[in-house]
Amino acid sequence: MSARAKEEPVAKRPPSVDAVMRTTVAMAAAAQYGRPIVVEAVRQTIAAARASGAPTEPERLAAIATERVAINSQLNLRPVFNLTGTVLHTNLGRALIAEEAIEAAVAAMRSAVALEFDVDSGRRGERDDHLRGLLRELTGAEDATVVNNNAAAVLLALNTFAGARDAIVSRGELIEIGGAFRMPDIMARAGAALIEVGTTNRTHPKDYISAISERTGLILKVHTSNYRIEGFTTEVPARDLAKIAVKHRVTLMNDLGSGTLIDLRRLGLAPEPTVAEAVAEGADLVTFSGDKLLGGPQAGFIVGRKDLIERINRNPMKRALRVDKIRLAALEATLKLYRDPDRLSQRLPTMRLLARPKADIAALAARIAPAVGKSVGDRFIVEVVECASQIGSGALPVDSAPSAGLRIAPASKAGGRALDAVSAAFRRLPIPVIGRIEKSALVFDLRCLEDEAGFTANLASIDIKEPRDALA
Ligand SMILES: *Cc1c(COP(=O)(O)O)cnc(C)c1O
């Protein structure tokens, strides 16, 4: 070993870890990221240099190791530009939270809060108390409870009322929401026996009535928000179902999914049933999400009859599905914004983005097109195009909002690999830019782009790694 070492030219032997750690670059990195991970990265870099015969100057090795540490310490869950055209994109985290809610959440994170403590009386309070009053006010329901998400709300309510009993559902409403949320599976896990009634396209009152027995725990109505059957169809409206439920003394639950608290026509969108309407139609319980149209953090609400909500709260499952102080704080602040509906579309990002006029978006597209064109170079053609945004998260699947954006297409005909390369380059930016591929082009719908300066600054570091043969 020592004989062999002597034969090697001295300059080619990698320096010791200590020698690299003594460089200015490594010392600065240790101060920023902590010594142990920098030492480990230096060790790995030295080993790689030894194996490959790469340059071995301490400064060079320190720089490589520092870059490694910097990449590793980047947060994996980090902001992206959602230019997919889907405002409530489940894979991109759905609703953006209002500033008021962010502030409330940050305050709750930094400090002890009166989560289950009644400050007035000095006695124990209830977690749900912070939202109960607001939810009653906004939905007209007698009582309310909140859990982790709407899937949890459905699971909990089904388990409470139809555990070891029957739950009656129309075959036209046995939906899959995505992410493995299938109504029949949730019902099975809740311990409910699923009684399917009617057919895929038509369900009549008599179908429900003949399925009701002493084993019935619940009639479940599901708002089939993520698809629409057209043509020869009939469903039993919630109002009629409520009459059947009252007459036969069974509980009726309406799962609205993306329940909205306001009339969407105010924003120029197609109407969705509001939670207040579902309550007024006579459902005993109504479930809906916090991070869909409502525009808050992930949560699931159950509102409805007081005696039923009390039973839900006594179910031990509630404890496993409850939400933490951070989300409760954000939810309370979000719901408070609904007390002032006139300013809602300014303060609530979801509403602001959904209501954003097309002309506004088109003007933005025209402004940033040159910068985007410059960043991708002349091998791509960038043009301003009209497009149609989706709400997302299963709300109003067939309706879309007219929007505008940029279309980036390879200049050469056989540009498939160039298209992959340019999409990947946008995703590799410090703030990844996520668009959608449509007809051999990368399309950026700009409805959700509000930080124009941040977007153009981000473009500076674009690096399109194109395979040479795709450049023809
Ligand atoms: C989205 C949706 C759910 C699930 O809600 P999450 O908040 O995503 O858990 C349940 N039911 C319906 C009808 C939905 O649209």
295 alpha carbon – ligand 1 mean position (Å): 14
C-alpha 248/C-alpha 215 separation (Å) is 12
Name the segment(s) of the chain with CATH classification 3.90.1150.110: 81-89+354-471
Name the segment(s) of the chain with CATH classification 3.40.640.10: 99-343
250 alpha carbon – ligand 1 mean position (Å): 23
393 alpha carbon – ligand 1 mean position (Å): 8
- Give the ligand 1 atom nearest the CA of 181: 4
181 alpha carbon – ligand 1 mean position (Å): 8
Ligand 1 lined by 300 (C-beta under 6 Å): yes
Ligand 1 lined by 224 (C-beta under 6 Å): no
Task: Give, for ligand 1, the residue of 88, 181, 294, 323 to mutate: max count of ligand atoms closer than 8 Å to Cβ.
Answer: 181
Residue nearest to atom 13 of ligand 1 (CA): 257
Which of 65, 80, 89, 83 has its CA nearest to residue 17? 65
C-alpha 334/C-alpha 431 separation (Å) is 27
Ligand 1 lined by 259 (C-beta under 6 Å): no
Is the pTM higher than 0.85? The answer reads yes
Q: Is 179 left (phi over 0), alpha (psi -120 to 50) or beta?
A: left
What's the confidence (pLDDT) of residue 244? 97
- Residues 28 and 64 sit within 8 Å (Cβ to Cβ): no
Ligand 1 lined by 334 (C-beta under 6 Å): no
Residue nearest to atom 14 of ligand 1 (CA): 257
What's the confidence (pLDDT) of residue 469? 47
Ligand 1 lined by 289 (C-beta under 6 Å): yes
The values of phi and psi at residue 414, to 5°, are -85, 65
Sequence-separated (6 or more) residues with CB below 8 Å from residue 361: 403, 404, 405, 446, 447
Task: Give, for ligand 1, the residue of 88, 150, 158 to mutate: max count of ligand atoms closer than 8 Å to Cβ.
Answer: 150
C-alpha 407/C-alpha 444 separation (Å) is 7
How does pLDDT run along the chain (472 residues), one tens digit per residue? 444 545 544 456 789 999 999 999 999 999 999 999 999 999 999 999 998 887 789 999 999 999 999 988 988 899 999 999 999 999 999 999 999 999 999 999 999 999 999 999 999 999 999 999 999 999 999 999 999 999 999 999 999 999 999 999 999 998 777 667 788 899 999 999 999 999 888 899 999 999 999 999 999 999 886 666 777 788 889 999 999 999 999 999 999 998 899 998 887 888 888 999 999 999 999 999 999 999 999 999 999 999 999 999 999 999 999 999 999 999 999 999 999 988 999 999 999 999 999 999 999 999 999 999 999 999 999 999 999 999 887 666 557 899 999 999 999 876 788 999 999 999 999 999 999 999 899 999 999 999 999 999 999 999 998 765 444 4
- Residues 384 and 415 sit within 8 Å (Cβ to Cβ): no
Residue nearest to atom 3 of ligand 1 (CA): 257
* Torsion, Cα of 336, 341, 344, 348 (10° steps): 40
292 alpha carbon – ligand 1 mean position (Å): 9
C-alpha 61/C-alpha 45 separation (Å) is 6
What one-character-per-residue DSSP string does 340-361 give? -HHHHHHH-HHHHHHT--HHHH
Task: Give, for ligand 1, the residue of 255, 272, 393, 396 to mutate: max count of ligand atoms closer than 8 Å to Cβ.
Answer: 255
Token representation of residue 95: 């609703």
What one-character-per-residue DSSP string does 123-143 give? EE--TTHHHHHHHHHHH--SE
Ligand 1 lined by 173 (C-beta under 6 Å): no
Residue nearest to atom 15 of ligand 1 (CA): 257
C-alpha 266/C-alpha 341 separation (Å) is 10
395 alpha carbon – ligand 1 mean position (Å): 10
CATH 3.30.365.10 applies to domain 81-89+354-471: no
Residue nearest to atom 12 of ligand 1 (CA): 257
For 362, the enclosing helix (H) or strand (E) is helix 358-376
What one-character-per-residue DSSP string does 395-442 give? BSSS--EEEEEEEEEESSSS-HHHHHHHHHHHHTSSS-EE-EEETTEE
Sequence-separated (6 or more) residues with CB below 8 Å from residue 57: 15
Ligand 1 lined by 150 (C-beta under 6 Å): yes
Angle, CA 414 vertex, CA 408 and CA 419 arms, to 5°: 35
CATH 3.40.640.10 applies to domain 99-343: yes
Residue nearest to atom 11 of ligand 1 (CA): 257
Ligand 1 lined by 58 (C-beta under 6 Å): no
450 alpha carbon – ligand 1 mean position (Å): 27
What's the confidence (pLDDT) of residue 453? 98
C-alpha 114/C-alpha 118 separation (Å) is 7
* Torsion, Cα of 415, 417, 420, 425 (10° steps): -100
385 alpha carbon – ligand 1 mean position (Å): 33
C-alpha 185/C-alpha 174 separation (Å) is 10
Token representation of residue 464: 């399109």
- Residues 14 and 40 sit within 8 Å (Cβ to Cβ): no
What's the confidence (pLDDT) of residue 326? 98
